[in-house]
Structure 1
Amino acid sequence: MTDHDQTNETRQEWNDVHALSGAYAVDALDDLERARFESHLRNCPDCREEVDGLREAAAFLAVDPVEPPARLRADILAGIEAIRPLPPVVAPEPQSEPDDGRRRWLTTGAPLLVAAALVLVALATTAWLRPWADDESTPLTATERVLTADDADRFVQRFDDGSRATVVVSRSEGRAVVLTEDMAPAPEGKDYQLWLQDPSGDIDPAGLMPDQADATVLLEGDASDATWAGITVEPDGGSPQPTTDPIAEFVLDA
């Protein structure tokens, strides 16, 4: 399977990422999960709104720790069909309109109780819902293997405007990944281009950065013995060799 195929599979698996807003709101994700969800959160206003609402509900419901009933997990799983992203179970059509008291409860008390239930469900079902669970059917992408490798080394460069770029290299994986935070876009008609240098001094193109302030990009080429990585501003579409001085440099053999 190629990296492209794995990326497509992972993207399909991430169709359920919205279900993790509750787990994120109560800090029930591990570091890799949190990083992935936060990357999704930047471009999903629906999830941002839901996380804000769940955090408010969790704060409102904060109590001293108590031992949950033994049947709590079973009851939650039994009612999982009512939880986003699965479609709700449609109840039979009522024979008559509810009285005024019941209608007032539905429009005032129900949203808060639903939010509270989602917080509880997030804690009980995170492992069941997460699309990247440690399972042979959902292998890590090349990017994820680099970021989680035991020998991953990180090299950071901060810019004057407060943004930064980080290169993560795994020699065992033979690949490198660049992560940017709040990076200004490339000038009109230009692209940010990535480069890798081998021990002989040859500098090879390693891909183009997307037009995003926060991006995670797997560099093209072999990084198993790369000594340097860089980012330059190049004409739209890139160049076979750098035509400008690097705006960011990373000495990888330090």
Structure 2
Amino acid sequence: MTTADLHLLTGAYALHALPGEERAVFERHLSGCASCVQEVAEFTATAARLASASSAPVRDPMRRQVLHRITGVRQVPPGAATGPDQVRHRAPRGRGPARWALAACLAATAAFGGTALWQYERAQDARQQAARAERQADEVAGVLGASDAKTRSARIAGGTGTLVVSADRDQAVFVASDLPAPPRGKVYQLWFADKGKMRSAGLMSPGRASQAVLMRGRVDGASGVGVTVEPAGGSPQPTTTPLGLLNIPS
């Protein structure tokens, strides 16, 4: 598998569609490819936003139409020539989701339906939760797609953690991939290392191995970000040694 081939797997990886061997090869590539890290983060945020936007069950004819059309849209390898039988337009790398990845996300949303949103609708505060989720997805997408976004990655607890920071927005997003579930009754908590102290930056969802989390609060001169295991609900200060520390990318 060539490097060019690996660049084409970002969308499939974000949708958890790679078989085990290809996934392992791609993750090794991901640890040293900043552009692929950013694309994976963007595709993950796009898929989450599309899922939260599914406010009604998808009709079978629409699902069949989307699944049929996606077979005719593909990503072109970087630098590849285009011809009459090839895709005429390709989104520049690092400038937003490619057309095929957006179609894949939409197809996945159509195939699986609005499960998450139906759960919201059955809850008493469904509308408020959906609105909050949409606002957060917008903010995550804003940081990931910022023109000044910079990234830094590290291995954390057997998975991969990627920090994406926008100085202009003074915000950060933590993108986790394949993190093992925390112990029962525990949660992963994010922290800003700020002038020798640890400032809580929010909790990660314990039921998701891969996720993009908008870190709570401004970066505001912090020197790094840490991840600890804390009791459910979080702690005012870390109670365990950080599983990983990432310096703020400069």
Q: TM-score, normalised by structure 1?
A: 0.48
Q: Which has the larger radius of gyration?
A: 1
Q: TM-score, normalised by structure 2?
A: 0.49
